[in-house]
Each structure stands twice: as C-alpha cells, then as structure tokens.
Structure 1
Amino acid sequence: MLPAAHRLRRSVDFERTVRRGTRAGRSTVVVHLLVDPDAGPEAGVGAVAGGAPSQVGLVVSKAVGNAVHRNQVKRRLRHLAAAHLPALPAGARMVIRALPASSGATYAELDHDLESCLDRAVARARRTT
C-alpha cells in the first residue's frame, strides 16, 4: 500500500506530470516522471525535498478490461510502486499508466516492466536537468 503522503491525487498534478515529464514505456505500462528541479542531489533519493515527498499516481482505463481486471492491475501496480518508491528522486512525481496488455501479465512481468521503465525515466530526467 502506498503511504498517503506519497499518493498523487489532484488532476492538475496528473496532467502536469504526463505533459511535462519524461516518458518511458514497455508492453504493459508507461511511466511518466517529473522531477522537481529545486530538489538537488543533496536531498537524496526518496527523501523529502522542501516538505514535498515523491508521489505516485495510477491510470488504469477501461481498455485494460472489466472492473475485476482493472482492480487487480491497480492492486499489483500500487504494491510495486510502493516497493520502488525509494528509487525515485526526491520530490519526483510519477504517473504509471497501465496498457491493455497489463491485464494478462503476471506479477513478475509487471514488476520487470515497471522497473525497466522507471530506470529509463530516471536516467532521462537526470540528463535533462
């Protein structure tokens, strides 16, 4: 479960992250990552920068499947995101968008795809800042 402080809730934050953040995708998920430029490397990975912790939001549309499949994908991605939270740069916002292939993917496949996307998105974000 994601701690309350690490959940992305406002639609404005989702929109800003998707539009301005770096994107990395695989067959089951797409990760959008927006790193706060004010949080330098001295803030540390996963730390709270200027009172703002790293936040994660999920987007699972009806294209993924019926309510049972969507909820299963959300539960899996929420658990995986909590496990990968320490790998996020301080003050970062991440949106995980599930693709239709995620409904048939195993937990291990989702984990592999999310980790791969997160690594690439963090590397791209560090190059641009």
Structure 2
Amino acid sequence: MLPRDHRLRDSDSFRRAGRGRRAGSRTLVVHLSTPDAAGPARVGFVVSKAVGNAVARNSVKRRLRHLAREQLDTLPGAAVLVVRALPAAAGAPSAELRSDLERCLQRVMA
C-alpha cells in the first residue's frame, strides 16, 4: 500500500499529470509531471474496464501499487505520476510489469 501522502486522489491532479512527459510500453503508459510546488511525490493509477473484469482490474492495481511504492525514492520531489494499465497488463507477469515500469520511468525522467 502506498503511504497516504503519496496517493493521488483528485481528478484535477490526474489531468495535470497528463500535460507532463509520457512513455509507454506493451502493458502500461506512464505520465509524469513535475510541478513547481513542494511536497512529496504522488502516484495514481488508471485501470479501465478494457483490462478485464473487476477481479482482473483490482489485481493489476495491487501489483502496480506495490511496484510504484518501490520507485517512490527515484521520483523527483513533488512529482505527479500516473500509471495507466493497458489490456495486456492483465495477463502479464509481475516481472514484466516491473521492467516496463522501470523502463518507462527512466524515459520520462531523462
């Protein structure tokens, strides 16, 4: 579980992250925005019905939350990260999700 102050909850923050840098892979798309404000890095997830039924969507969200928590230290301060799962994420093993997330984060932070 992500700590409370690192969770992205309001729709306006999700929209703002869409204006930042973007990188994609077979299983997910990452949007990163670095606002001028101070504060902790925050992470949000978008998993649509195209990924699968409720069980599949929640499973993907849980795995992505765990992987994103490991990456919090690498994010710049006050960054807003949105991870959007693609339909292929439902059948992908966690190792593939981890490598895709790491690769996408490297691309948007470069």
Q: Which residue does the alignment assign to 2:33?
A: 34
Deviation of 1:37 after TM superposition, in Å, equals 3.8
What's the Cα RMSD here?
0.9
What 5-or-longer segments of structure 2 have no aligned partner? Answer: none
Deviation of 1:102 after TM superposition, in Å, equals 0.1
AA aligned to 2:58 is: N
**What's the TM-score once normalised by structure 2's chain length?**
0.97
Q: Which residue does the alignment assign to 1:46?
A: none
1:14 aligns with 2:1: no
Between structure 1 and structure 2, the one with the greater Rg is 1
**What's the TM-score once normalised by structure 1's chain length?**
0.83
What 5-or-longer segments of structure 1 have no aligned partner? Answer: 39-49, 124-129
Q: Give deviations 1:19-72, integer Å, cap 9, x for gaps.
A: x1100000001000001246xxxxxxxxxxx3x110000000000001111010
Q: Secondary structure at the match of 2:67?
A: helix
Q: Percent of aligned pairs with the same residue?
A: 60
Count of equivalent residues: 110
Q: Which residue does the alignment assign to 2:80?
A: 93
Q: Which residue does the alignment assign to 2:70?
A: 83
Deviation of 1:16 after TM superposition, in Å, equals 1.0
Within 5 Å, give how 1:98-117 maps onto structure 2. 98-117=85-104
Q: Secondary structure at the match of 1:32?
A: strand
Q: Secondary structure at the match of 2:9?
A: coil
Mapped to 2, the partners of 1:79 and 1:61 lie a distance apart of 19
Mapped to 2, the partners of 1:55 and 1:82 lie a distance apart of 10
